Chains A and B, each alone.
Chain A
Amino acid sequence: MMRYLKLVNFEINRFSKIYISLLLITLVSQFVGVIIGTKNFLNGARDTMSEERLSEAAFVTNNGGIDFTYIANSLWFQGPIALSAVALIFYIFLIWYRDWFGKNTFIYRLLMLPTSRLTIYFSKATAIFLMVLGLIALQIIILPMENALFNSTVPEVFLNMEMSSSSIMSVNVVLSFIIPSTFTQFLLSYGAGLMVMSILFTAIMFERSFRIKGIIFGLVYCGITAALFLAPVFVMGLGNFYFYPNELFGLLLALGIIVTGLSIWLGSWLLKNRVTV
């Protein structure tokens, strides 16, 4: 257990510089987005009002007011979320390959450790997952602050409504995807995320085990698991059979657990028996 925690910590520390940069970029960019977004709107409103000689109330009736959705849809706001997502998806691969292609082929030492190789596998998975959740946590913490800043800078006449953090998250497509509105959905979404990560890890293990041939194995494995997991959806799409929503849910849950289990088992088996340095 201690070894596992040490390894997780080690993996996080190795990525900490980039990770902290991602956190800072998100923090700065989103706050700047709130300030610039409201400024733009208010300046635009002022210009229109002086050009067309409108009162504030008349402007709002003609052009509509503003609410936080306006900010949440801007590039300043969503850009850093996309950047972080891409960076972490990329790191799913890098977390393995940097050990092989780093300065002094670190994988030698890692695989020589007197610990089961499954621990190494899990520690890398945990590190990535924890970092993803860390970014989500940051968003949950800063969104109410951004919202408060927004509500205090926009004069009340222009404000469509004061939204709560949870309603902002449920209205915005990107936010509702990364922070689902119910805890059950949160568990399911991130469970599906873990499944995809375990499949990708297994594909990487295939490549590390069989090199060029392994890339094909890896791709085939991704295809098979996707087909297996989505089989009930295909059956329904082809019109052969109709599943009630709760049945479909049960099937996908069961298949998801099977696919994840299979991937972890196969991945760790390859790491133990087939991976060459």
Chain B
Amino acid sequence: MKRYICSIIIGMVVILSIGTYYVKVASSASGLPKYTFKTLEGNDKELDPVIINASFENSSFYQSLTFESNQTTYDSEKSYWEKLSGRQDYQSERLIKEHRSFMRGKDSIDSLYEDDDFLAYAWVNSEFTKSGKMEAEFDIGLLEKKDEEETSFQIELPNQERIMNTYVRDVQLVHSKLQVLTMNDVNSNDDKQMKEVHLYTIDLANKKVLRDKTLLSETFTYPNQVDLEMPIDIAPSQPNNMVLFSLMKGVNHEDGPYEEKPNESKLLSYHYETEKIETVKLPKKESLSLDMARSGYVDGKNLYLIDLKSDNYHIKTFDLSSQTLTNDQELGLPVNKKKQHFAAFKNGRVYFLLGNEFDQEGSLTYKPAQLLIADFKTGKTLYKGETVMQATNKKNGKKIGFFTHGLEVK
């Protein structure tokens, strides 16, 4: 027996230590601080559909975590199987569950369109050839929900030799034609830069591009700059009549910072039915600024703007077709300009999260995040709460920040 002592010791030590370690890992918490919302007002049942993606971080340390149904889960604590499928937004997850075969490889929510009868998808596959030219094609998919019939095809992107990059930003099905709105960067040989918004109309039955309409084209040379952006779409895959985009013009000063030219910047809307492109006029007397519109939320009918000018946060509803303000809702939460805000609109409620407070030096402070849930029609506060940290060890977490990345509602 003595001859085997070496192997026996190794074997025992291996089984005991690795075994105990994994039993301990599985049965105990990681010791990382937990965050929960302390209810200040209202019913904490309202928290159930709230998902917050955040991280717990400092200079040498980074752990991402998800806050769901008032519980913190660190990615590192998840089981292998939970980690395997990765983190997906709630809408994509539902679509994958319902139409697994159709959704294969389609993960951009902006590229999807869903109504009661159809699920449609448009994407641009592009690659650069050795000569530096782009070769691009539309990847189109259509699912008829009733009989689960899938159609998919590829067609060449028209005028692709002049395009450098193209991003699909919205897809709609209008009179059984697929409308694909893209933002394109255009090739140019000299110093000029060109950005365009295109609308491609695709005939699904005959599998061809019927029309390539340029909605907007902007040429500029450095130090001038033009940026095109879209307010956050809160219903990206639903049928929408209207789409908004903001045009920002500015100048990069030689040794100074970037400066916007507010008079040349504007907010534009495109109506899929009437095919009209219009400048959205924000009512002056309501002091709605372009900045507010850009960071607003849009659902095809309304633009929701978050106003920080009063004592409390206000959410203003701007009707896009009549171009008037239809609602002004005061939230029961005082304005804190040092904090970043996140909003979500769902279930007739507005979900409003305040967090990521920075101090004067620009570093993250560790003050609690606040969440407010209000009835959107009446403005009544249904829930109000703030994060509290429950560190397993009192010494922990004081110097490490809780940083919010996004807010989602089931």
Contacts and interface: CB of A to CB of B under 8 A. Distances in A.
B61 interface: yes
B4 A9 contact: yes
Given A60-B399, A140-B21, A170 B30 contact: yes
Nearest to A171: B61
Interface of A: 5, 8-9, 12-13, 16, 60, 64-65, 67, 69-70, 73, 130-131, 133-134, 136-138, 140-141, 156, 159-167, 170-171, 179, 181-186, 188, 239, 241-242, 244-246, 249
Contacts of B205: none
Q: Which 4 A-B pairs have the closest CB atoms?
A: A242-B105, A164-B31, A184-B80, A170-B76
Contact of A9 (B3, B104, B400): B3
A245 B96 CA distance: 12
B396 A161 contact: yes
B188 interface: no
A186 B32 contact: no
B30 A164 contact: yes
B17 to A, nearest CB: 4
B361 to A, nearest CB: 9
A133 to B, nearest CB: 4
Nearest to A186: B22
Nearest to B7: A9
Interface of B: 3-4, 6-7, 10-11, 13-14, 16-18, 21-22, 24-26, 30-32, 58-63, 76-77, 79-81, 83-86, 96, 100, 104-105, 125, 393, 395-397, 399-400
A167 B80 contact: no
B3 A134 contact: no
Nearest to A161: B396
A8 B7 contact: yes
A185 B25 CA distance: 13
A70 B58 CA distance: 12
B30 A162 contact: no
18 contacts: A5-B7, A13-B7, A65-B399, A70-B60, A130-B11, A159-B395, A162-B393, A162-B395, A166-B24, A166-B30, A181-B25, A181-B76, A182-B83, A184-B79, A184-B81, A241-B104, A245-B84, A246-B84
A242 B6 CA distance: 49
A183 B4 CA distance: 29
Contact of B6 (A13, A65, A69, A246): A13
A162 B76 contact: no
Contacts of B79: 182, 184
Contacts of A167: 30-32, 63, 76
Given A140-B21, A183-B26, A12 B395 contact: no
A20 B142 CA distance: 64
B394 to A, nearest CB: 10
A9 B86 CA distance: 43
Contacts of A166: 24-25, 30-31
Most buried by B among A8, A137, A160, A161: A161
Contact of B17 (A137, A159, A160): A137
Most buried by B among A9, A185, A239: A9
Given A12-B6, A182-B80, A67 B60 contact: yes
A12 B10 contact: yes
Contacts of A183: 22, 25-26
Contact of A130 (B10, B16, B26, B62): B10
A244 B93 CA distance: 12
Contacts of B58: 64, 160
A137 B80 contact: no
Nearest to B96: A244
Contacts of A184: 79-81
A156 B395 contact: yes
Given A9-B7, A69-B61, A181-B25, A137 B85 contact: no
Contact of A161 (B62, B81, B83, B397): B397
Contacts of B16: 137
Contacts of A12: 6-7, 10
A12 B9 CA distance: 11
A112 B260 CA distance: 85
B17 A141 contact: yes
Nearest to A248: B84
Contacts of B3: 9, 13
A9 B6 contact: yes
Contacts of A249: 84
Given A156-B395, A170-B30, A245-B85, A131 B60 contact: no
Most buried by A among B16, B18, B63: B18
A181 B29 CA distance: 12
B390 to A, nearest CB: 14
Contacts of A137: 13-14, 16-18
A171 B25 CA distance: 15
A186 B7 CA distance: 22
A235 to B, nearest CB: 12
A165 B63 CA distance: 15
A133 B395 contact: no
A133 B14 contact: yes
Contacts of B26: 183
A67 B61 contact: yes
Nearest to B105: A242
A274 B60 CA distance: 54
A244 B104 contact: yes
B99 to A, nearest CB: 13
A133 B105 CA distance: 39
Contact of A131 (B10, B17, B62, B400): B10
A156 B79 CA distance: 33
Nearest to A65: B399
A175 B396 CA distance: 22
Contact of A140 (B18, B59, B62, B125): B18
A216 B25 CA distance: 45
Contacts of A185: 80
B399 A160 contact: yes
A185 B399 CA distance: 31
A184 B22 CA distance: 10
